[in-house]
Structure 1
Amino acid sequence: MLSIKGQRWRNWTGNVEGTPHYTMYPESIQDVVEVVGVARKKGQKIRVVGSGHSFTPLVQTEEVLVSLDELKGIVNIDEEKMVAEVWAGTKLYDLGKLLEEKGYAQENLGDIDSQSIAGAISTGTHGTGITFGSLSTQVIEITAVLSNGESIVCSEAENVEYWRAFQLSLGMLGIIVKIKLKVIPAYSLVYESEKQSLSTVMNKLEEYKKHRHFEFFVFPYSDEVQVKLTNETTNTGSDLKWHKLKVELLENRMFSLLSKGCKWFPSISKGVSRLSAKAVPNTKIIGPSYEVFATSRTVPFYEMEYSIPSKYMRTVVEEISNLIEKKKYKVHFPIECRYVKGDDIWLSPAYGRDSAYIAVHMYKGMKYAAYFGEVEKIFMKYEGRPHWGKMHTLSYEQLQDIYPEFHSFLQARKSLDELGMFFNPYAEKLFIPH
């Protein structure tokens, strides 16, 4: 097992960093047990990192950081039950390929596939489609190592009292080492991108929601909206390399240059947003599901995302658009809007309700606090709950009021980790009263 002392760590966008005393790279469950045992003897705290794709300081620590990178791959697939058991550190982009080789796929994914499977479920990563829950809802069993060094297997049939806590745990219950996922036969998707007016999209939300997957992007200071519709198909597609090249050139390289211009000259942000809206292509591609879901994102940004009851989608989108116009915020990133099916996972932002997820972004290095702060007020006005991996300003006092099973999670956490081994200062802000 590799152990590195004083290795600097930072998240993908560079807004969170730290220097753990030790960074550990376990290659087996026994390695994880050993790491936990040593930390317990020394009175050290542990945080676990997947891909570092969160914007919040969830894994920031100066004590022990455990990387899941070496715990990767498929353990086995139960073809009769349609269940895949995978190691916790498996990256989603690898998992898609590995499953397809066996003739399987996940029912839904987000638009970024850089995360590890454990990191994705631990933070509530989601895609879009009102009939699909977050990735956590695909999980049927979790194996983890607790702070006492013992392993626990948790599901709806075993240690069920902890199941709803483990499905989205922020890494605070133990170190997840293996995950069993529901899978389905491999399938293809047809993805279509089109440009519509904001009023048209707002009036057709219910119609658009009937598609397997629907999301849209609202460009500040513009009436033009990008609509993305994705559906299952039996047709075969052409090579996706040309589409991916266009995305790389337009959405990454060209947008990167424009974003740097906005950083240097914020006054051009309005024009850049309108230009981006004009450049939205009419696109249609077909390919394997895991390739169609994923979008390459190399332009660094800050992001805040909230879940609200789905019925408020139109109201909140219009209020955010009006806010930007009124306050004249220097923002050129579009507002990202998606739908997620409700679930019964205690810390899920979609707990108990079909949800609209709305995200706002700002290019790295540009001022975002005032913009995010005012948008957050709108979210909170409409029963908002923050995405755990995205920026927000809430703490224990507010969180306990908006998550109905918040204290059920706290009770499970205390029972499984009496030592508080898996806390860090940020987690304490969220889950300990002050």
Structure 2
Amino acid sequence: MLNRRNLIAAMGGLALASRYGVLPAMAAEKRRLPWRNWSGSQQCLPQSRIAPASLAELQELVASTEGIIRPVGAGHSFSPLVPTDDTLVSLSRLGGVSDADSATLQATIGGGTRLGDIGQPLQDAGQALINMPDIDEQTLAGSLATATHGTGAGLGCMSTFVKGLQIVNARGELVDCDARNKPELFQAAKVSLGSLGLITQVRMQSVEPYRLRRETVWMEFEEMLENADSMADQHRNFEFYYVPFSGMGFTDVHDLTDEPVGTTGKNDPNEGAMELKMLRDWLEWSPTLRRLVLGSYASTIPDEITIGNSWKNYANERNVRFNEMEYHLPREAGLKALREIVATLESSHHEVFFPIEVRYVKGDDIWLSPFYQQDSLSIAVHRYFEEDYKPYFKTLEPIFRKYGGRPHWGKLNSLGGADFKELYPHWNDFAEVRAHMDPTGRFLNPYLRDLFMGETG
């Protein structure tokens, strides 16, 4: 017969596993809990999945645990950054917004905080994030580790807004860094692939709360290309999408406004994706007919206007799963590359239905940022998660590379350490800092070990 205290403890453990996708330390020793990312393209069966409840518990875990430790966030990366057979650590219980300074407009945010959980408490403190990506499920630490970005020709990736970091290193020690204190570590840690340690706190530069007017307009592909660069320079945030085999796409812009919150009504992007899949299933045999149907329908879609608080207007709910490849190209070469990508897609891959997403990002000086000294045009391509993405991505990746693209760290690509060393002038500098922070490679899974040490063992 179960003891009441043991029953309550067991229920608590199950609640933790359900909420955080992890098991308490004692349960994790008895039973392995599989992990997979959002799309299912990356999987592993670690010995332990743990979510420490305090900083001290995390430090003790790192200091006492043997084998490889990998941080895990929301699982929204598609590249093999997370998988390990040893220990996965979630910082989901070390989140939240604190220490908001009204004079500097800076705030301290826990590394395990989901982006979608930052907006309201930051607004309550009289602040707002400068920019955000269009998915807000990711954790802050994971977003920084992969140089996650929104869009805006005058706005950098998320890592450019970081003013200070707190990290637990491979010995379980707490290390603080910023532009003055350990500047080389700070430069490396702003985009680190989770290879330097566990980012527990982030000091973020914010701005005063602001409202955005978001407008979506459908137009012909050639018209979008003709206007893209000028629209990127005219609007605070600008991106556009092209729907394959339609000749049509839509622009999506955000601008600061004092207008009252409201909307004209929005199309559901998840329903739209499945409708595109249905048309693909029906008309894949005839690209001409498919273009006629899609183009005719798209030309009837009304413009959409949504006015809301910044953090609510950026994010879209993505329920239709996919795998993704995204490359960041020099802005001056981006539209030419896009033309070639669309032509190649429509001549060779009639099975594709997901729109191509195009965004603009300002260059920076962060060692492993894909935007290092490069104002960029980012092009993202997708495949439905139940379908094989490899042939499509294999066809397009040489085009991305021909135009000088660097892959998004969290998206699928085929590059290795030698390739990245050519793309990043400070690759060796980063490797030196990494080796100092983690000399035995405790934070390197097979993928990262191969990148930084040239071996998979």
TM-score between the two structures when normalised by the length of structure 1: 0.93
Matched, 1:370 2:388: no
Any idea what the Cα deviations from partners look like across 1:312-367, whole Å, max 9, x if unmatched? Answer: 12101100111112214311111100000000111111001101110001111223
Q: What one-letter code is carried by the residue in structure 1 that aligns with 2:191?
A: L
2:197 aligned residue? 174
Task: Using the TM superposition, name which of 22-31 and 172-181 deviates more.
Answer: 22-31
Runs of at least 5 residues in structure 1 that lack an aligned partner in the other structure: none
1:232 paired residue among 246, 256, 261: 256
1:381 aligned residue? 402
Any idea what the Cα deviations from partners look like across 1:16-65, whole Å, max 9, x if unmatched? Answer: 111110111112211110110111xx3x1100011111011211111010
| Structure 1 residue ranges (4+ consecutive) displaced by more than 6 angstroms after TM superposition | none
Residues 159 and 191 in structure 2, CA contact (< 8 A), matched pair in contact too: yes
2:214 aligned residue? 191
Give me the whole-angstrom Cα distance separating, in 2, the residues matched to 1:274 and 1:195. Answer: 10
Give 3-state SS (helix, strand or coil) of 2:118's partner. helix
2:10 aligned residue? none
Matched, 1:30 2:52: no
Task: Label 1:298 to 1:161 Cα distance change in 2 as closer, same or farther (>3 A).
Answer: same
1:139 paired residue among 138, 151, 162: 162
1:302 paired residue among 323, 329, 332: 323
Runs of at least 5 residues in structure 2 that lack an aligned partner in the other structure: 1-22
Matched, 1:84 2:143: no
Task: Label 1:130 to 1:8 Cα distance change in 2 as closer, same or farther (>3 A).
Answer: same
Task: Label 1:414 to 1:114 Cα distance change in 2 as closer, same or farther (>3 A).
Answer: same
Task: Label 1:412 to 1:267 Cα distance change in 2 as closer, same or farther (>3 A).
Answer: farther
Q: What one-letter code is carried by the residue in structure 2 that aligns with 1:251?
A: P
Any idea what the Cα deviations from partners look like across 1:373-403, whole Å, max 9, x if unmatched? Answer: 1211001001110001000010112111111
Percent of aligned pairs sharing the same letter: 36
Task: Label 1:262 to 1:428 Cα distance change in 2 as closer, same or farther (>3 A).
Answer: farther
Matched, 1:74 2:97: yes
Matched, 1:355 2:379: no
Give me the whole-angstrom Cα distance separating, in 1, the residues matched to 2:155 and 2:450. Answer: 31
Residues 262 and 268 in structure 1, CA contact (< 8 A), matched pair in contact too: no
Residues 226 and 277 in structure 1, CA contact (< 8 A), matched pair in contact too: no
Task: Label 1:193 to 1:22 Cα distance change in 2 as closer, same or farther (>3 A).
Answer: same
Matched, 1:216 2:234: no
Give 3-state SS (helix, strand or coil) of 2:212's partner. strand
Larger radius of gyration, structure 1 or 2? 2
Task: Label 1:126 to 1:280 Cα distance change in 2 as closer, same or farther (>3 A).
Answer: farther
Matched, 1:325 2:346: yes
Give me the whole-angstrom Cα distance separating, in 1, the residues matched to 2:197 and 2:450. Answer: 19
2:86 aligned residue? 63
Task: After TM superposition, give the deviation of residue 93 of structure 1 in Å.
Answer: 0.6
Q: What one-letter code is carried by the residue in structure 2 that aligns with 1:393?
A: S
Residues 273 and 354 in structure 2, CA contact (< 8 A), matched pair in contact too: no
Task: Label 1:123 to 1:278 Cα distance change in 2 as closer, same or farther (>3 A).
Answer: same
Any idea what the Cα deviations from partners look like across 1:168-201, whole Å, max 9, x if unmatched? Answer: 0011000110000001110000000001222212
Task: Label 1:56 to 1:263 Cα distance change in 2 as closer, same or farther (>3 A).
Answer: farther
Give me the whole-angstrom Cα distance separating, in 2, the residues matched to 1:196 and 1:265. Answer: 22
1:202 paired residue among 220, 225, 241: 225
Q: What one-letter code is carried by the residue in structure 1 that aligns with 2:24?
A: L
1:117 paired residue among 130, 140, 143: 140
Give me the whole-angstrom Cα distance separating, in 1, the residues matched to 2:83 and 2:279. Answer: 31
1:2 aligned residue? 24
Task: After TM superposition, give the deviation of residue 262 of structure 1 in Å.
Answer: 4.6
Residues 219 and 277 in structure 1, CA contact (< 8 A), matched pair in contact too: no
Q: What one-letter code is carried by the residue in structure 1 that aligns with 2:87?
A: V
2:269 aligned residue? 251
- Equivalenced residue count is 425
Any idea what the Cα deviations from partners look like across 1:91-150, whole Å, max 9, x if unmatched? Answer: 111101111122210010010000111111111110000110000001110001001121
Give 3-state SS (helix, strand or coil) of 1:204's partner. helix
Give me the whole-angstrom Cα distance separating, in 1, the residues matched to 2:421 and 2:174. Answer: 29
Task: After TM superposition, give the deviation of residue 410 of structure 1 in Å.
Answer: 0.7
Task: Label 1:267 to 1:33 Cα distance change in 2 as closer, same or farther (>3 A).
Answer: farther
Task: After TM superposition, give the deviation of residue 253 of structure 1 in Å.
Answer: 3.3
Task: Label 1:384 to 1:258 Cα distance change in 2 as closer, same or farther (>3 A).
Answer: closer
Task: After TM superposition, give the deviation of residue 276 of structure 1 in Å.
Answer: 7.2
Residues 276 and 353 in structure 2, CA contact (< 8 A), matched pair in contact too: no
